[in-house]
C-alpha cells in the first residue's frame, strides 16, 4: 500500500499527540489517574454540552465502559475530586445533573486552546516536511 505521508510527517504527528497528551495530564496538575479515555470521554462530553447534563447521559459518554456501575465509579471519583458537581434535577426528581466545576471548565478551555494551537503548528510542519496530498 502506498502511503500518503512520509516517516518524518508521521513523527511530527506523534510529537503533536505526545504534547497534547502531556498537556491533558497538566489539566489535572500531574495526576495521572485522569490519563484515561474514560475521563476524556466523560469530561469532553460534559464540556461540549456547555450546561448541566443528566447523570445517566454522562455515563453513556464513556463509550469504552460497558457497565453503568463502572462508569458511575468514574463519575463519583470526579465528584469527590471536585471536578464535577452533582445537583438535583428540578425537572425530574428521579435524576441528577452534572456540571463541570468552574475551575475545571477554565482548565479545559485552556487545554483546548493549547491543543488547537498544537494541531495548527503540526499541520504547518507536516506540510513543510513533505507531500501534502490534500493541497490543490
- The mean pLDDT value of the chain amounts to 94
Residue 118 falls inside a structural domain = no
Q: Tell me the pLDDT tens digit for each residue of 5-64.
A: 999 999 999 999 999 999 999 999 999 999 999 999 999 999 999 899 999 999 999 999
Amino acid 136: pLDDT: 56
Domain limits at 88? 35-113
Q: What is the pTM of this model?
A: 0.90
Residue 44 falls inside a structural domain = yes
Residue 136 falls inside a structural domain = no
Contact 8, 130 (CB under 8 A): yes
Phi/psi of residue 3, each to 5°? -85, 145
Indicate if the pLDDT at residue 88 is higher than 70: yes
Spatial distance between the Cα atoms of 53 and 32, rounded to a whole number of angstroms: 25
Task: Please name the residue ranges forming H helices in 1-136.
Answer: 7-27, 37-49, 55-61, 68-80, 102-129
Total structural domains within the chain: 1
Q: Looking at residue 56, which CATH number applies to its domain?
A: 1.10.10.10
Indicate if the pLDDT at residue 103 is higher than 90: yes
Amino acid at each position: 500500500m502506498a502511503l500518503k505521508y512520509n516517516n518524518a510527517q508521521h513523527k511530527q504527528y506523534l510529537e503533536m499527540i505526545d504534547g497534547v497528551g502531556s498537556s491533558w495530564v497538566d489539566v489535572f496538575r500531574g495526576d495521572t489517574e485522569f490519563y484515561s479515555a474514560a475521563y476524556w470521554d466523560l469530561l469532553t462530553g460534559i464540556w461540549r454540552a456547555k450546561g448541566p447534563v443528566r447523570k445517566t447521559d454522562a455515563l453513556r459518554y464513556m463509550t469504552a465502559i460497558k457497565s453503568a456501575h463502572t462508569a458511575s465509579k468514574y463519575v463519583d471519583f470526579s465528584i469527590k475530586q471536585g471536578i464535577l458537581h452533582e445537583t438535583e434535577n428540578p425537572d425530574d426528581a428521579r435524576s441528577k445533573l452534572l456540571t463541570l466545576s468552574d475551575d475545571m471548565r477554565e482548565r479545559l478551555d485552556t487545554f483546548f486552546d493549547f491543543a488547537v494551537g498544537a494541531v495548527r503548528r503540526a499541520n504547518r510542519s507536516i506540510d513543510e516536511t513533505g507531500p501534502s496530498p490534500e493541497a490543490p
